[in-house]
Amino acid sequence: MTIAEATKDDLVPGAVVFIAAEMAATGPVAHQVVVGKNGVLPPM
């Protein structure tokens, strides 16, 4: 597995994702979005 920078094209319907986020005063803020691709799922 290699972690690489993604594009919006990698976020497709049905893709498995892991989102590291926190709650801020204005609502949730994502720090990192990990997207599974080519059958490899996020390890989290």
Q: What is the 3-state secondary structure (H, E, C) of the chain?
A: CCCCCCCHHHCCCCCCEEEEEEEECCEEEEEEEEECECCECCCC
pTM, two decimals, is: 0.69
- Residue 12: predicted pLDDT: 92
- Residue 26: predicted pLDDT: 96
- Residue 2: predicted pLDDT: 75
> How do residues 1-44 score in pLDDT, each as one tens digit?
778 888 889 999 999 999 999 999 999 999 998 999 888 888 76
Distance CA 12, CA 14 (A): 6
- Residue 11: predicted pLDDT: 92
Are residues 18 and 44 in contact, defined by beta-carbon separation less than 8 angstroms? yes
